[in-house]
Amino acid sequence: MSGVLVIAEQRRGELRPVSLELVGAAQGLRRAGEEVTVAVLGKTPEGFVKALSVAGVDEIVTVKVPAPEFDPDTFESAVGALIAERTPDVVLVAHSVDSFGYAAALTARLGLGFATDVFKVERVEGELVATRGVYGQKVNVEVDFPRRGTVLLAIRGNVFKAPEQAASPRVTPFDAPQVASRSAGREFIELSAGDDVDMTTAEFILTIGRGIGEEAKVPQFRELADAIGATLGCSRPIADAGWLPKSRQVGQSGKTASACKLYIAMGVSGAIQHLAGMKHVSTIVAVNTDAEASIFGVAKYGIVGDVFEIADELRRLF
């Protein structure tokens, strides 16, 4: 077992940014003389070579597969064949919706060491040790992989730094085995706006979460958002319950609030997916009754208190 194999992620012709973060994570794992190899799967994988040619990559393996987009059987088979040929010490994939669809099946079948949602990884006396959060991210566990050769780790996004410098790694094509895939992608559907809001361009967002308790409370927060000049957003449970349209949901699976600079979260406890989707915001203010809520771990300012009382007081000032 030698070297680090990174599986890049692409969707609809674009490399997903987490791919380069995986290259960043790989640097701390390569032992003296070992290489970091990045594999990219697609119909025309050569198209991603330039974007993947960054410092820290020794080799790019282009894997031509018939499916234009992610497909579990295709990925499982191709990545499995690549692992069999290269016998890497560590395989890094993103902890993402695509890897949810195949990584566990691959490791179960091949008997690889396996951990997901890993945000820290190191070698302790030569042994690979991965750290992940459990019980609502309130405690961490260190995980190791006794008796396992190759270890596959699904790495949390927005944790490791992507290398910025360009480089010229060698490029090797790889023939993936033929596979009769048992599922077929039909089309992508963009979440339609539903109303006239565009969360991707909003700079100031006020979000409500489960803590507001009932649907009848939504209008008062809508009114507050208008008064203070914020765009009203929500966390997943609010959109799932239909209290606000899905287009107002922010967090990892909601609309990317990429332009947001000031984010006030009221009654949002902060599921990991929500926090991951909002981590880039420079000023997060969290208002929550629970002093232990995870959102206080990423917020710049915290108010421990009753969301309705704070909302009423704030409304009076605008």
Partner 1 sequence: MKILVAVKQVAALDEDFAIRDDGRDVDPDFLIRDLNEWDDFSLEEAVKIKEGHPEPVEVVVVSVGSDEVDESLRKCLAKGADRAIRVWDAAIEGSDTIAIARILAAVAKREAPQMLFAGVQSSDQSFASTGIATAAFLSWPHAAVVTSLTYSPGAESAVFRRELEGGILHEVEIQCPAVLTIQLGINTPRYASLRSIKQAAAKPIEVLSLADVSLGAADVGEAGSLSRVRRMYVPDKGRAQLIQGDAAQQAARLAEIIREFKGAAA
In the bound state with partner 1, the residue whose beta carbon lies nearer, of 163 and 302, is: 302
In the bound state with partner 1, the residue whose beta carbon lies nearer, of 28 and 305, is: 305
User: How many CA atoms within 13 Å lie on the side-chain side of 252?
Assistant: 14
CA 223 to chain centroid = 32
In the bound state with partner 1, the residue whose beta carbon lies nearer, of 35 and 306, is: 306
Nearest approach, Cβ of 260 to partner 1 (angstroms)?
Answer: 11
CA 316 to chain centroid = 38
Q: Which helix (H) or strand (E) holds 134?
A: strand 127-134
Nearest approach, Cβ of 167 to partner 1 (angstroms)?
Answer: 27
In the bound state with partner 1, the residue whose beta carbon lies nearer, of 55 and 134, is: 134
Nearest approach, Cβ of 92 to partner 1 (angstroms)?
Answer: 15
In the bound state with partner 1, the residue whose beta carbon lies nearer, of 89 and 98, is: 98
Nearest 5°: phi and psi at 77?
Answer: -70, -45
Nearest approach, Cβ of 293 to partner 1 (angstroms)?
Answer: 10
Cα separation of 296 and 156, whole Å?
19
Nearest approach, Cβ of 297 to partner 1 (angstroms)?
Answer: 5
Q: Pairing mode, if any, of strands 90-94 and 4-7? A: parallel
Query: CA-CA-CA-CA torsion for 159, 149, 80, 107, nearest 10 degrees?
Result: -70
